[in-house]
Every structure is written in C-alpha cells, then in structure tokens.
Amino acid sequence: MKWRWLALAPVLAVLAGVPWLGDAVLIQFGINALLIATLAQSWNILGGFTGYVSFGNSAFYGLGAYGTAIAMAQWHQPFWLGLALGAVLAVVVAAVLGGPILRLRGPYFAIVTLGISAALSALFANLDIAGKNIGLILPLTRDDAMFYELSLGLLAAATVAVAWIARSRFGIALIAIRENEDAAAAVGVDATRYKLAALILAAVFTALAGGIHAYWITFIDPAGSFDTTLDVRMVIMTMFGGPGTVFGPVIGAFVLSAIYEVLANGISTAAALFFGLVILLAVIFLPKGLIDLGGGFRALGWRYFLANIERHRL
C-alpha cells in the first residue's frame, strides 16, 4: 500500500502549514489535538495491539512533564535535556512496574493500572524538588508555532513507529498475545518481553508529549500532570478511531477533539451528553473503529452496521 503513504505527504504538509495559515486559537487547538493524538497513538501500542487496556498511561505523561519541569526550572537545563529526563523517568517506571502488572490479565490489569497515576501524583506532591503540591513554573517561551511543529513531529514519529510495528514480527507477536496469550506462548512468543517492550515504547512517546505540554503551558502541578481523565480520553479516542491500526487512533483523536471543541463552545452539559452518545453509538455500530467504516461499508453496505451488532452477541 505504497500509495497510501504518498497520499499522506500533502496531508502532512497542510498540517505543518497551520501555524502560518491559521489564527492563534486554531494553533492552540492544534497543539492540544496533536498531543492527545500522540497519547492515543502511544496507548495503541500496548492497548490496541496486545489488548492490555491501561488506565495508567497518564503516569508517563506526568513523569514527562515533571522531568522536563525539574530539569528546566530547578536545574536550568535546556528543554531537550528535560524531555530526555522525562522519557528516562517514564522508561524506568514502565520497566519496574511492567514486570509485575503485565502478569495480570484482562480486567485485573486494567484495575491495577488505575492506581499508578494517583500514587505518583501523591509522591510528587511531597517532593521538594518537584515543588510539592504547588508545582513548578517553567521558563516562558511564547512560540506556539514551535510547540505546534514539535507536537506534529512527535505524533508523526509515534505513527511511524506504529506503522513499523504493524508490519514487523514484533507487531504480529503483540497481536498474537491479544488474540490468545496461551496459544501465543505455546507457539514460542515470549509474551512477557514483548508486552514490556510495548509498554516501554508507549511510555516514551507519552512522556515526550507530557514534556512538550509542560513547557508549552509553563506551569505544572501534580493534579494537572497526573490527570486520569487523560487515560479515559486516550482509551476512548483509540477505540473510536480503530485500535490496533496505524491511523485509527489519530483519526479518532482528531475527530473527537474537533467535535468536543465545537460543542464546548456551546452548552457544556450538552457537549458531555453528545460526547457520551457518540461513544455509545460508536461502540455499538463501529466496534473496529472509524477507520474500518470505509472498507466495511463498501463491502457490506448498510448491512455492515448490522453485522457489527451481531459481533456483540456471545
């Protein structure tokens, strides 16, 4: 499918041109959308491919934010060093926690991941170097175009990584784990190692997004950095767009970000309600995500939606 990649060039060019074409509001919306899309894409590496549903990735986001903030605000180091510190912290936490928690399956894994962010939030709220529960103020840089392009670059890198995974032996091992972990092991898949690699890769991209966001908003605190509502959003956006696919999470994140932005300008309860409704309908009619809609509809027509409902019957 080489043509698909060629078709991406103009899309990428248009996206990259936004800071020169759009207004300040659009650029800010763009940065947020690109970063949340990066989170969804990162979540996809473990959640989409192996089926291990994590509600703890915001921990990596927070570590990325704090790594960057501590390096810049406390140690007066350059931004890129901060990003690196954040990524290293996230990798360490992923590697240490991954061993025990990735042994748990299904809902047990999901439940355990729920606590990670809260625990780290409490930890950082008591660290002097992290500014305790007040937080840290980073040096101010008013350059939204730079933040936008950085975010776009990060999303592109995460997507290239996922595209590579989808074609690699590593990726098919992750999918085998999702489809049947015992059978995967019997066939010779080192599930422990592959799951851990997926988690660490997800942690790196998530932490980098956290670092960019921290520098952009210039102020971080425990509650805002270890934000568990982010976890729900990455899961929903990936599921909505198409888990385990290359572009699904990105499309899901963009579409839902846009819908939410439009609705949030109106009445906020209506926005939340509509958001919930969209998700409900998507789960029922599009269990494989938005990305499956084109091909599925072409093949089956309206029956596609009925076939999807059939899927839910056990």
Q: From residue 221, give the alpha-carbon distance in Å to each of 21, 35, 124, 283.
A: 33, 18, 9, 34
Q: From residue 246, give the alpha-carbon distance in Å to each of 27, 209, 242, 277.
A: 24, 18, 8, 25
Of 143 and 190, CB closest to other proteins = 190
Interface map 125-164 toward other proteins (x if CB under 8 A): ----------------------------------------
3-state SS class at 142: coil
Query: Applying CB under 8 A, does 197 fall inside the site for other proteins?
Result: no
Among positions 175, 255, 259, 278, the unique one binding other proteins when judged by CB under 8 A:
175
Of 23 and 182, CB closest to other proteins = 182
Of 15 and 173, CB closest to other proteins = 173
Among positions 83, 154, 191, 209, the unique one binding other proteins when judged by CB under 8 A:
191
| Crossing angle between the packed helical segments 58-69 and 106-124, to the nearest 10 degrees | 20
Spatial contact of 238 and 48, defined as CB atoms under 8 Å apart = yes
Q: How many CB atoms lie within 10 A of CB 80?
A: 11
Beta-bridged to residue 314, according to DSSP, are none
Among positions 1, 9, 24, 186, the unique one binding other proteins when judged by CB under 8 A:
186
Among positions 16, 26, 95, 172, the unique one binding other proteins when judged by CB under 8 A:
172
Query: Applying CB under 8 A, does 182 fall inside the site for other proteins?
Result: yes
Name the segment binding other proteins (CB under 8 A); options: 7-15, 28-36, 185-193, 297-305. Answer: 185-193
State the Cα–Cα distance between residues 77 and 245, nearest whole angstrom: 37
Among positions 180, 276, 297, 306, the unique one binding other proteins when judged by CB under 8 A:
180
Of 78 and 106, CB closest to other proteins = 106
| DSSP character at residue 140 | P
Of 72 and 191, CB closest to other proteins = 191
| Crossing angle between the packed helical segments 79-101 and 106-124, to the nearest 10 degrees | 140
Query: Closest separation between CB of residue 174 and other proteins, Å?
Result: 11
Query: Applying CB under 8 A, does 273 fall inside the site for other proteins?
Result: no
Among positions 190, 272, 277, 299, the unique one binding other proteins when judged by CB under 8 A:
190
Beta-bridged to residue 63, according to DSSP, are none
Query: Closest separation between CB of residue 87 and other proteins, Å?
Result: 29
3-state SS class at 61: helix
Of 168 and 268, CB closest to other proteins = 168
Name the segment binding other proteins (CB under 8 A); options: 104-112, 130-138, 183-191, 209-217. Answer: 183-191
State the Cα–Cα distance between residues 85 and 224, nearest whole angstrom: 19
Query: Applying CB under 8 A, does 189 fall inside the site for other proteins?
Result: yes
- Number of residues engaging other proteins in binding (CB under 8 A): 20
Q: Where are the alpha helices (DSSP H) in the chain?
A: 2-21, 24-43, 49-50, 58-69, 79-101, 106-124, 144-167, 169-179, 181-187, 191-217, 222-225, 228-241, 248-264, 268-285, 293-300, 303-312
Among positions 4, 103, 105, 167, the unique one binding other proteins when judged by CB under 8 A:
167
Of 105 and 167, CB closest to other proteins = 167
Among positions 119, 122, 139, 179, the unique one binding other proteins when judged by CB under 8 A:
179
Token readout for 44 is 């996809």
State the Cα–Cα distance between residues 177 and 266, nearest whole angstrom: 43
User: Which residues of the chain form contacts with other proteins (CB under 8 A)?
Assistant: 167-169, 172-173, 175-176, 178-180, 182-191
